[in-house]
Amino acid sequence: MPGEPQDDCLFCKIAAGHIPATIVRETDTTVAFRDINPQAPTHVLVIPKVHYENAAALAAAEPAVAADVLREAQSVADDEKVESYRIVFNTGSGAGQTVWHAHAHILGGRGLEWPPG
Ligand code: 5GP
Ligand code: ZN
């Protein structure tokens, strides 16, 4: 069924608590945890608990949960006291996506160049 946990998905395992992560926030529908390979002083991933391969698939199937992910991004920024930050949804391997479970990168705490690389 769409959205069901996948046995072979790293982020489903983190959401279920089967793989440890430094969790900073959790709601009924989302989990936020620190990226294992941080690219900025604040680098937190916000994931939906449901499994979709990218943000667009999540938004198409469960728009309310996609909105929850965006709301949590702001809450993470508030908790981390970063006024300016970037939300990144890498989509497709050419854009650097390596985990096929929708996730928002929240990056902040340093200067962020525009345009990004
Ligand atoms: P993507 O490259 O798909 O946009 O982002 C995946 C992110 O997950 C990467 O930034 C990577 O560092 C992070 N990551 C990969 N494996 C783990 C892990 O086991 N724990 C945590 N906390 N982050 C991970
Ligand atoms: Zn998953």
Ligand nearest to the CA of 106: 1
* CATH 1.10.760.10 corresponds to the domain 10-108: no
Work out the pLDDT band at 47, boundaries 50, 70, 90. very high
Question: Could you tell me the two tokens for 60?
Answer: 């198409």
Residue 62 — very low, low, confident or very high, per pLDDT cuts 50/70/90? very high
Residue 60 CA to ligand 1 center (angstroms) comes to 23
Q: Model confidence at 97, in pLDDT bands (50, 70, 90)?
A: very high
117: pLDDT confidence band, cut at 50, 70 and 90? confident
% of the chain residues with pLDDT over 90: 98
Q: Where are any strands of DSSP class E within 1-117?
A: 23-26, 30-34, 42-48, 85-88, 104-108
Which residues are catalytically annotated?
103
Q: Give the nearest ligand 1 atom to 99 CA.
A: 3
pLDDT of residue 14: 98
Q: Does residue 98 have its Cβ closer than 6 Å to ligand 1?
A: yes
